[in-house]
C-alpha cells in the first residue's frame, strides 16, 4: 500500500507507560499504519496490555520474542513489517497527533528523501512539564554535511524517525552488539547518512521524549562506552577529518572516565584511559595523564585531570580546532 507505515515499538517490562504510548498512535490523524508491539521477553503485565489493544484494533499486532535487547527487538519488528516506511516509537515516548501526517507530507514533497525526523520536546510526568528540547536547527531537505553534524552531536531522536525500510536493510539494521547498547540509534543514523541517503527534517516538535528513572539516558557510562564503539568504526575512514575524530575521542573518553568513577566501575577506568592514549598519543593531556595515573591514586589522578590538565588542554586544543575550522 502506498505510504503504508509500520510502527515498531520494542517493549521490555514497559507496563508503566505503554498504554499511554499506544494511545498516541491511535490518535494519529494519519491512519494508514500498522503497529508492531515487540515484547522482548517482558515479565510484567506487558502482554495483557498489548492484548487489550490488539483486541480493539486489528492494525495493532503483538509479537513475543526472547530477551535480546532493544536493537534486537527493533530488528525483529522491521523484519516482520509490511510497510515500506518504518516509524520507530519507544514504549515510553509519546507523539503529537499530527506527527505521521506531517512527516508523510514532507516525504511526498521531497521524493528523493528516504528519512524524515522531527524536533523533540523532553518532558517529565506530563508533556506540559517541559524539561528541555532537542531543537535541531536543520530542517527541510538536508545535504551530506548533516553526517558531520550528527557525528559530533546527535540532536535527532530515534522515536521521531520515519525511514524507508529498504534503506534500513541496506545499511545493516540495528547493531545488536551488547557493547553498543544505548548508542545503537545514533549508530544506525550515522550509517544511513554515511550511505548518502537524502534526509528531510520537520521543524515542529512532534515527539515527546519521556525522562524517567528507568530510562537508558541515565545509564551514562554505558552510553559513552557505546559511543567509543561507534567512533571506532570510523577510525580508519579517510573521508572524515582526523582532527574532528580526535576532538570527539577526547570528549567521549574524558566523559566516560568520569562516569565510570561515579558509577564505581574503577576497574574499567585504566582500560579506557589506555584506549584514549593510543588514539591521542602525543597531546598535552595524554602525556601528563600517563604520569599522574602511575604516581597517584585513581581519585586524585582524575581530580587533577579534570581540574588542571583538561582545562589547560582545552585551551590548547581549542586554538588548533579554530585554526583548522573544526
**Domain match, 14 and 156 both:** yes
pLDDT band of 318, cuts 50, 70, 90: very high
pTM, rounded to two decimals: 0.91
3-state helix, strand and coil shares in percent for the chain, rounded to the nearest 5: 50, 20, 30
Q: Are residues 154 and 267 in the same domain?
A: no
Rg (the chain; Cα; Å): 21
pLDDT tens-digit readout, 137-146: 778 888 888 9
pLDDT at residue 215 tops 60: no
Same domain, 184 and 63: yes
pLDDT for 288 equals: 96
1 compared with 120, residue with greater pLDDT? 120
pLDDT given for residue 163 in this prediction: 98
Residues 254, 106 share a domain: no
Q: What is the pLDDT of residue 130?
A: 65
Say yes or no: 201 and 311 in one domain: no
What sign does the CA torsion over 191, 207, 216, 269 have?
A: positive
Residue 218 has pLDDT above 90, yes or no: no
Choice among 56-60, 143-147, 222-226, 295-299 with the minimum mean pLDDT: 143-147
The domain spanning residue 163 has which CATH number? 3.90.550.10
DSSP structure string for 48-95: HHHHHHHHH-TTEEEEEE----HHHHHHHHHHT--SSEEEE--TT-EE
45 and 100 assigned to the same domain: yes
What confidence category does residue 129 fall into, taking pLDDT thresholds of 50, 70 and 90? low
168, 187, 216 - which closes a domain? 216
Q: How far apart are CA 100 and CA 92, in angstroms?
A: 18
pLDDT at 182: 87
Residues 23-39, mean pLDDT to the nearest whole number:
98
Q: What count of residues does the chain have?
A: 326
Residue 184's pLDDT is 95
Q: Which of 96-100, 129-133, 188-192 shows the lowest per-residue confidence on average (mean pLDDT)? A: 129-133
- Give the mean pLDDT of 143-167: 93
pLDDT classification of 25: cutoffs 50, 70, 90 = very high
Give the lowest-confidence range in 134-148, 184-198, 244-258: 134-148
Q: Which residue would you say has higher pLDDT here, 217 or 108?
A: 108
207 with 236, same domain?
Answer: no
Report, as an integer, the average pLDDT of 198-216. Answer: 86
pLDDT band, very low/low/confident/very high, at 124 (cuts 50, 70, 90): confident
Could you give the CA distance from residue 76 to residue 86 in angstroms, rounded to a whole number? 12
pLDDT > 90? residue 166: yes
81 pLDDT exceeds 70?
Answer: yes
Which of 216, 241, 256 is the C-terminal boundary of a domain? 216
* Containing structural domain, residue 307: 219-323
Mean pLDDT of 299-313: 95
Does residue 225 share a domain with residue 210?
A: no
User: What pLDDT does residue 150 have?
Assistant: 94
Residue 289: pLDDT band with limits 50, 70, 90: very high
Please indicate, yes or no, whether residues 19 and 134 belong to a single structural domain of this protein. yes
190 and 122 together in one domain:
yes
List, in sequence order, the alpha helices (H) in 153-306: 165-170, 184-194, 220-232, 242-262, 269-279, 284-295, 298-304
pLDDT (0 to 100) of residue 216: 53
Average pLDDT of every residue of the chain: 93
Q: What is the tally of structural domains in the chain?
A: 2
Query: In the listed set 216, 233, 265, which residue is the last one of a domain according to the structure?
Result: 216
Residues 245 and 303 both lie in one domain: yes
Integer angstrom CA distances of residue 56 from 40, 73, 130: 22, 23, 32
Amino acid at each position: 500500500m502506498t505510504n503504508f507505515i509500520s510502527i515498531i515499538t520494542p517493549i521490555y517490562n514497559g507496563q508503566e507507560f505503554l498504554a499511554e504510548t499506544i494511545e498516541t498512535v491511535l490518535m494519529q490523524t494519519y491512519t494508514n499504519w500498522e503497529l508492531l508491539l515487540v515484547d522482548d521477553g517482558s515479565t510484567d503485565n506487558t502482554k495483557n496490555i498489548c492484548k487489550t489493544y490488539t483486541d480493539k484494533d486489528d492494525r495493532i499486532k503483538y509479537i513475543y520474542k526472547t530477551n535480546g535487547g532493544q536493537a534486537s527487538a527493533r530488528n525483529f519488528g522491521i523484519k516482520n513489517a509490511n510497510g515500506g516506511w518504518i516509524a520507530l516509537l519507544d514504549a515510553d515516548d509519546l507523539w503529537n497527533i499530527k506527527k505521521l501526517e506531517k512527516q508523510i507530507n514532507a516525504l511526498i514533497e521531497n521524493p528523493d528523501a528516504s528519512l524524515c525526523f522531527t524536533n523533540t520536546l523532553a518532558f517529565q510526568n506530563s508533556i506540559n512539564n517541559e524539561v528541555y528540547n532537542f531543537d535541531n536547527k536543520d530542517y527541510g531537505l538536508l545535504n551530506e554535511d548533516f553526517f558531520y553534524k550528527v557525528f559530533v552531536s546527535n540532536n535527532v531522536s530515534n522515536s521521531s524517525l520515519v525511514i524507508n525500510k529498504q534503506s534500513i536493510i541496506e545499511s545493516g539494521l540495528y547493531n545488536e552488539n551488547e557493547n553498543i547498547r544505548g548508542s545503537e540509534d545514533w549508530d544506525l543514523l550515522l550509517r544511513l547518512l554515511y550511505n548518502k541517503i537524502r534526509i528531510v527534517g520537520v521543524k515542529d516538535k512532534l515527539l515527546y521524549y519521556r525522562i524517567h528513572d528507568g530510562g537508558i539516558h541515565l545509564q551514562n557510562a554505558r552510553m559513552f562506552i557505546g559511543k567509543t564503539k561507534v567512533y571506532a568504526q570510523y577510525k580508519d575512514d579517510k573521508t572524515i577529518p582526523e582532527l574532528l575524530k580526535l576532538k570527539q575521542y577526547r570528549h567521549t573518553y574524558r566523559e566516560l572516565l568520569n562516569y565510570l568513577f561515579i558509577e564505581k566501575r574503577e576497574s574499567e577506568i585504566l582500560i579506557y584511559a589506555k584506549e584514549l592514549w593510543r588514539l591521542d598519543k602525543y597531546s598535552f593531556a595524554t602525556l601528563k595523564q600517563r604520569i599522574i595515573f602511575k604516581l597517584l591514586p585513581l581519585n586524585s589522578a582524575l581530580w587533577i585531570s579534570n581540574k588542571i590538565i583538561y582545562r589547560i588542554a582545552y585551551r590548547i586544543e581549542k586554538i588548533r580546532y579554530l585554526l583548522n575550522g573544526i
